[in-house]
Amino acid sequence: MIPEGATIGVPLEFCPRSSLSESIPLIVELCVGIVEARGLESVGVYRVPGNSVAVNALSDSLNRGFDGLNQSDPRWNDVNVISSLMKSFFRKLPDPLVTSELYGALIEASKTEPEQVRFNSIKRLVDELPEPHYSTLRYLVGHLSRVAGKSHVNKMEARNLAIVFGPTLIRPGDDSTVTMVTDMSHQCRIVETLI
Give the largest Cα separation in the chain, rounded.
Answer: 51
| Whether the predicted pLDDT of 97 surpasses 90 | yes
Q: What is the pLDDT of residue 54?
A: 95
Phi and psi for 98 in degrees, rounded to 5? Answer: -90, 105
Distances (CA, A) of 69 to 76, 114, 142, 146: 10, 48, 26, 27
Is the domain 12-194 a CATH 1.10.555.10 member? yes
22-41 mean pLDDT: 95
State the DSSP code for 164: H
Q: What is the pLDDT of residue 74?
A: 86
Share of the chain above pLDDT 70, in %: 94
Number of Cβ atoms within 10 Å of the Cβ of 146: 14
SS3 170: strand
User: Domain boundaries in the chain?
Assistant: 12-194
pTM (whole model) above 0.85: yes
Question: If we measure between CA atoms, which residue out of 33, 5, 3 comes closest to residue 139?
Answer: 33
Question: If we measure between CA atoms, which residue out of 110, 140, 142, 104 comes closest to residue 123?
Answer: 110
Mean pLDDT of the chain: 92
